[in-house]
A = this chain, B = another copy of it.
Amino acid sequence: MSAKNSQKAPSKSAKAASAKVPDAELIGITTQKEADFSNWYQQVLTKGDMLEYYDISGCYILKPWSYGIWEKVQDWFNIKIKSIDVENCYFPMFVSSKVLEREKDHIEGFAPEVAWVTKAGKTELEEHIAIRPTSETVMYPYYAKWIRSHRDLPLKLNQWNSVVRWEFKHPQPFLRTREFLWQEGHTAHVSQENAEEEVLQILEWYAGVYSELLAIPTIKGRKTEKEKFAGGLFTTTCEGYIPTTGRGIQGATSHCLGQNFSKMFNIVVEDPSWKEGDPEEAKKLFVWQNSWGLSTRVIGVMTMIHGDNKGLVIPPRVAQYQVVIVPCGLTAKTTEEQRKKLLEGIENIATTLSEAGIRVKADTRDTYSPGYKFNDWELKGVPVRLEFGPKDMEKKQVFSARRDTGVKAGIPLDGLAEKVQTLLDTIQKDLYDRAKKAYDEHIIIVKKWEDFTPALNDKNVILMPHCDNEECEDEVKERSKGRKDDDAPEDAKAPSMGAKSLCIPFDQPKGDDAIIPGTTKCPQCGENAKHYTLFGRSY
């Protein structure tokens, strides 16, 4: 098996055929993840075939390699939400200015980023039309029309679409883009209790997209008043962590809107619990609403967490191909008959795996060397590579290489599918466990303010008892900007941004660390602490 471990340059014929391609693009990632994360991220996405930069800033092309991951997220999440009778639908991307601006707090949050259509062909439009930045104000006038009785509740709609937020900050693929794909669920309920139950159920599934599909741990919690969704009652979130930069990242948010929008849009029913004799005004029940969204950002988070210096590392459950088979050990001396036999053997392996439900690709391109193919599929992050050569055929085995660890092992052809599936499950679990360990080791409980910024600079997120005041959050951010230890030699590029509150985790420190009401103080301002809040530099 001559090709094993080799990272050969493209074979002669491959080189000749791809003469037009500059060498620099054929080879792998040229930056270390730890050395220049931003450049690494850009390279791993483009060379890993996930994404292409577009000629309009802040817009990107999702190539099949990333869009396929999104399709898997869609399939999984659709099954979940359909199980609680959420229905998919489609609302227009356009919203008139008067409808968009109906809810003041809400629009304030989005107004600076709204893209406006003012012209069609050569005709100036009489009224300018916005492209939805999110669909609350698009949908709720119709909820008011459709919901006429408590028997029309709950109303649970979802759409998979794209929204536009014309940010002027530095764009970043998947994380901050001017157009992005997401789902947005919008539901209406008869009671706060029903609404809240759903908010948490959805959050659980969002965390599930991360943990079960993408092998990423998150911390679930509630956003502070300062960070919650504009116009809503409260926001729940699952927060991830990027070890390389030590920054937190919002995973997805599930909002309880309360009755704020229903009052604004007059979404009202007769209270089913109203009885003759109750005050007349008690008859009117404004519905309780939720909205919740998960975007293609998940793909960016996955890339940042699992990727390494060889390229992407894609968790098996979302990988387009879970296994790639590469024919090896073919030389100039190999007869046509031997070659044919080997390729048949590979076809058989592919069929066996495919029939067992494993997504497999046999890379039988004859113009590339095995070494080139190894690099190529490592760059693209396929979880398992199987090598198969004449000697393997004799021994009735394949040779496997894990993308995540590089660990190699022979696997007998007998019972292959089962063993490969076990290997894929192990990889999925190991990816999660490693990410979990990295997260856990970087959650630091801070009880004295002077420990805060140093801990932050050490790439941690911080659990700090907090007073829950917005001004104090502003102070935390201001005071944690830059480095306290400017003389420190390492990592000149440490982010200078201040820490934001990421969430108030549902799972609060217990035992000795537990908040004692009236006694535990907020280290930043000295007021009584209400609970631990998770702080961090963030995306």
Q: Is A52 an interface residue (CB 8 A)?
A: yes
Contact A88 to B71, CB < 8 A, known contacts A17-B149, A179-B94: yes
**B112–A116 contact, CB under 8 A?**
no
Which residue of chain B is the closest to A111 with respect to CB atoms?
Answer: B121
Would you list which residues of chain A between 213 and 270 have a CB under 8 Å from chain B? 270
**B92–A60 contact, CB under 8 A?**
yes
Which of A2-10, A62-70, A369-377 is found at the contact surface with chain B? A62-70
> CB-defined interface of A60-96 with B at 8 Å, one 1/0 digit per residue?
1111100110110000000000000001111111111
**B151–A17 contact, CB under 8 A?**
yes
> CB-defined interface of A452-479 with B at 8 Å, one 1/0 digit per residue?
0000000000000000000000000000
> CB-defined interface of A270-286 with B at 8 Å, one 1/0 digit per residue?
10000000000000000
**B114–A121 contact, CB under 8 A?**
yes
Q: How many protomers of this protein does the assembly include?
A: 2
Distance of A234 Cα from B419 Cα, bound (Å): 51
Distance of A112 Cα from B120 Cα, bound (Å): 7
Please pick, from B17, B71, B116, the residue contacting A119 in the complex, using a CB distance under 8 A: B116
Please pick, from B61, B129, B131, B145, the residue contacting A90 in the complex, using a CB distance under 8 A: B61
Closest Cβ–Cβ distance, residue A110 to chain B (whole Å): 9
Distance of A114 Cα from B121 Cα, bound (Å): 5
Closest Cβ–Cβ distance, residue A99 to chain B (whole Å): 7
Across-interface contacts of A55 in B (CB, < 8 A): 96, 99, 141
> CB-defined interface of A151-189 with B at 8 Å, one 1/0 digit per residue?
100000100011010101000000000110100000000
Q: A52-B146, A62-B89, A70-B90 are in contact. List 5 more A-B contacts (CB 8 A).
A: A56-B94, A64-B88, A71-B88, A92-B179, A117-B118
What are 7 of the A-B contact pairs (CB < 8 Å)?
Answer: A18-B148, A52-B142, A54-B92, A62-B91, A93-B179, A113-B121, A114-B120
